[in-house]
Amino acid sequence: MGDFREVLFYHSETKHYPYRFARSLGYLDWENQPNPFRFWEGTERLDLPLLKDPSHPYEALYDYGLVNTEEFNVKSLSKFLELALGLSAWKAIPGSRWSVRMNPSSGNLHPTECYVIIPHLGGLQGVFHYNPFLHALEKRADIPYELSQKIKDFFGTEGFILILTSIPWRESWKYGERAYRYCLLDTGHAIGSVRFSANLKGWKVKYLNALSDKDLEILLGFDRVQWVEGEEEFPELALFVFPKEVQDVPRTIPESIINEFKKLNFYGRPNVLSKERVIWEIIYRAIKETEKPRTEEFRVIYGNPPILNLVPSYMSAEEVIRKRRSGMAYDGKTYILRELFIHALDKTLPRDNYSPFDVEIGLPFVNLFIFVNRVENLPKGLYCFVRNEELLKDLKEITSSEFLWEKVFEDFPLYLLKTGDFREVAGFVACAQDIASDSAFSLGMISLFEPVLREEPWFYRNLHWEAGLIGQVLYLEATAHNLNGTGIGCFFDDAMHEVLGISDKTFQDLYHFTFGKAVEDPRIQTIEPYYHLKRERR
């Protein structure tokens, strides 16, 4: 097991301060910019069909009761993967063109990769890499029929395993030592993206929390891959995707099944991403200290507080996923409805029977400290949305004694801490980015920290996944209501702690987010996502 003090060290070392940013090259080495796409060279490729989107009501993002379950086959998997992690557009200005995806990523660098292990379902079998550039599956291994049968028997249902991984070099190329945090936050967004897309197929998703990173490496054949030094890919987590009618599934895979993957023949080699790369030692250390061992399975019961549907959306769920775009500048004037503010916050509450927190990443440890800049009929000020009321007492104790902790509404865990104009503060703590002050509201995600890491140092990852997942919900909520969101990984950690009066590591700030009316840059042209593929596939 890793040493939690080392994890605390990584976190402290990679804080941004107004006078010193976390260590990075300090300039962009364009010559060595990593390829944002992984290709497994020498593998058999299965091109997935590009199909018309179905049209589910926006509420179906959360409520699988509104969706008919689809069978597992090439068509359903294709749409599932496309809406989870596929390309959503190309953007262009004269002389430059870049793709954007359904899932957001810090700096649009996309360290997250996705693999699916399909045990003889709908004419497909194998360990595959999903290549979002080609919208294709690259086959890394065949799975013998008997092994497929063992997997199905063990889970007691049809379904497939989905594994997310990270390539830290893609992020560290630009962000240096803080990059590992961004990989984890991006993974959280990807978990959300996967979960929402699965919901629209009538599929549930559960985190296989007992597995170790070594288990995942065996499942992916990574234990036999020769990575280019500096371009290693690390497993994040495994999810199991299955029909919603099935009540529950095991959260593990027995070693007898894992061991069978050791016997498989894995095909292909990873493409080289850069000509040269920089080794950031501290990231390797952090990965080692947060390595997940095999553990007992756990289940989390969140309860089922009634979902507050206060503001409808006139977009389909699929449109919401496709249209999500990070705001790059906010208009500094639009007020949002108070009902929408409440409606959006409500969707960040974990519920047993609603997507996306039913993935069960862990207990809810992350709470939102919100700068209300422009919300109608709500005084400007600093608020706290307590996602886990068991932490309320601790939150009161560790934050400024001047805070009011006045409940704003009955039966809703939103507390007013201090009235006042926090726009300047909100922008300043977000590395002086105006996007945090020109929006309707922006927030910092404050998580229980040291007490969690003392027990399980690898939970550093889960805490960031939880924050990323909350960010993904807020992105979709903003989009669904013709607004925008932006994840903010660049924030002055301790400056935010100071605003809140936090002086130790019981709680720490992991991520920021802003939500409001963005102004579009008219110079940027939008091109359809798969125009680069052969005409017959479009």
For the chain, helix, strand, coil in percent to 5 are 35, 25, 40
Is residue 488 at the binding interface for ligand FMN, with CB under 6 A as the rule? yes
135 counts as binding ligand FMN under rule CB under 6 A: no
Residue 308 CB, nearest approach to ligand FMN (Å): 26
Residues 175-234 that bind ligand FMN (CB under 6 A): 182, 185-186, 189
Contacts by residues 214-218 (CB-CB < 8 Å, ≥ 24 positions apart): 214/294, 215/253, 215/258, 215/294, 216/163, 218/258, 218/259, 218/261, 218/262
Tell me how far apart the alpha carbons of residues 80 and 165 are, in angstroms, rounded to a whole number.
18
Is residue 514 near ligand FMN by the rule CB under 6 A? no
Is residue 402 exposed (0-12), middle (13-18) or buried (19+ Cβ within 10 Å)?
A: exposed
In the complex, what is the shortest distance from the CB of residue 318 to ligand FMN, in angstroms, rounded to a whole number? 16
The nearest distance, CB 10 to ligand FMN, in angstroms, is 17
**Beta carbon nearer to ligand FMN, 76 or 462:** 462
d(CA 233, CA 281): 15
Figure out which of the listed residues 490, 499, 502, 510 binds ligand FMN, where binding follows CB under 6 A: 490
State in angstroms the smallest separation of the CB of 373 from ligand FMN.
17
Q: Is 378 in the site for ligand FMN (CB under 6 A)?
A: no
d(Cα 37, Cα 482) in Å, to the nearest integer? 30
Token pair for 459? 């939970």
Nearest Cα residue to 323 out of 82, 101, 63 = 101
- Interacting residues with ligand FMN between 385 and 444 (CB under 6 A): 433, 435
Count of residues that bind ligand FMN according to CB under 6 A: 20
Provide, rounded to whole angstroms, the least separation between the CB of residue 491 and ligand FMN. Answer: 7
Q: Which is nearer to ligand FMN, 198 or 474 (CB)?
A: 474
Report residue 492: phi and psi, to 5°: -85, 100
**Site map for ligand FMN, 305-344, x if CB under 6 A?**
--------------------xx------------------
Contact track, ligand FMN, 91-110, x by CB under 6 A: ---------xx--xxxxx--
Closest approach, Cβ 490 to ligand FMN, in A, equals 4
Exactly one of 487, 510, 529, 530 binds ligand FMN (CB under 6 A); which one? 487
CB contact set of 54 (below 8 Å; sequence gap of 6+): 79, 200, 318
Show the binding pattern over residues 147-186: x = contacts ligand FMN (CB under 6 A), - = does not.
-----------------------------------x--xx
Cis (ω within 30 of 0) for the bond into 356?
yes
CA distance 32 to 277: 7
Q: What is the 3-state secondary structure (H, E, C) of 292-330?
A: CCCCCCCCCCCCCCCCCCCCCCCCEHHHHHHHCCECCCE
In the complex, minimum distance from the CB of residue 259 to ligand FMN, in angstroms, rounded to a whole number = 36
Q: Cα separation of 313 and 301, whole Å?
A: 29
* Residues in contact with ligand FMN by the rule CB under 6 A: 100-101, 104-108, 182, 185-186, 189, 325-326, 433, 435, 486-490
